[in-house]
Amino acid sequence: MIDFFVDLLPDDAREIFRRRAQFRLVKLGSILALTVATGVVVNSFVELRQAKAQHEVIVALREKSNKIDKRVELSVQERTRLRSEIAVDAMLRSPISTSTIISAISHLLPDGSWLESMKVSLEEQKSLKTPVANRPIYVVLMNGIAPNAQAVQEFATEIRKTAPFVAVTVLEQRAAPKSGGGSEQQFVMRARIDPASRETEARKPDHSGNDVASAQTQIARGGSTR
């Protein structure tokens, strides 16, 4: 093939340009390597900083969680305490309110009888086996006047028949002179409140339609309900 080509560029000039091209290639390679290295360093720095920030956040969260754990623990303790208090309260609370007891008793008093005093108190049981039965028992101690011995017995019988009273016992009964002449019976009676009884069972209306609340009012005046 005829190309009519004679290259007159001297070899030394060609060598200079070849070296220059190589130098440029090396320079470009160096710049590229430097860029990559810088990128890696910057990326590592950013990653390190992020990791450090995350670590700080985790430490802060851990400290907060410790505080939360302590608060939860305190809350649990408080709840336990409150539960125990509630249990004690439930245990100590009378199943029948005192007003209901008073109204029931005053409703059962025979004619001509009245109570001089009445005391509702707790009595701890030690001999029973089950925990439920270990609950303290409310005891009603009544001191009153009846016109005769039969009225006392009648009153005791009526109480025995009436919930929530159980274990009704006449502790003392004796004749005492009446101020206007004649005699009357002084008695001391004791009855227990059934722990299994409920308020609704005790609040039964009497036959006259008066509820126990009215009876309670009368007994507080010291008079008969009939």
Partner 1 sequence: MFNPFQSPSQRNVIAIECGANALRMLQLGGNAMNPVVQGIAMLPSVGLNSQQAGSDETTIRRIKEALRSGGFSGRSCALSLPAKSILTESIEIPALANNEMKESVSWTAVDRLGVDRTEVVAGHLPIRAGTLGGAPSEVLVVATLRNTVNRTAALLTEAGLEPCKAELGALAAMRLAWNQIKTTTNIPNFAFLHLESDQATLALLNNSGLIFHRSFSWESSSNLNLGAIPVAGEEDESQAWRWRQMAEEILQCLRHIERRAVGSWPEFVTLSGALAEEPGVASAIRTVCGTETRLIDIENSVDWSKVKRPNGPLSAWTSLVAIALPQTTVAAVNKKRRVA
Residues of this chain that interact with partner 1 (CB under 8 A) are 1-10, 12-14, 17, 20-21
| Strands of the 114-123 sheet, one edge to the other | 114-123, 137-146, 183-193, 165-177
Q: With respect to partner 1, which residue has the nearer C-beta, 13 or 90?
A: 13
Nearest to 176 by CA among 155, 149, 158: 149
Rounded CA-CA distance 123/138 in Å is 6
Query: Closest distance between partner 1 and the C-beta of residue 55, in Å?
Result: 46
CB atoms within 10 A of CB 105: 26
For the chain, the 3-state helix, strand and coil shares in percent, each to the nearest 5, are 55, 20, 25
Q: With respect to partner 1, which residue has the nearer C-beta, 26 or 58?
A: 26
Q: With respect to partner 1, which residue has the nearer C-beta, 10 or 180?
A: 10
Phi, psi of 181 (to 5 degrees): 100, 155
Query: Closest distance between partner 1 and the C-beta of residue 14, in Å?
Result: 8
Query: Closest distance between partner 1 and the C-beta of residue 30, in Å?
Result: 17
Query: Closest distance between partner 1 and the C-beta of residue 13, in Å?
Result: 5
Q: What radius of gyration, in Å, describes the C-alpha atoms of the chain?
A: 50
Q: With respect to partner 1, which residue has the nearer C-beta, 22 or 38?
A: 22
Q: With respect to partner 1, which residue has the nearer C-beta, 5 or 222?
A: 5
Query: Closest distance between partner 1 and the C-beta of residue 15, in Å?
Result: 12
Q: How far is CA 218 from CA 54, 103, 119, in A?
A: 77, 8, 17
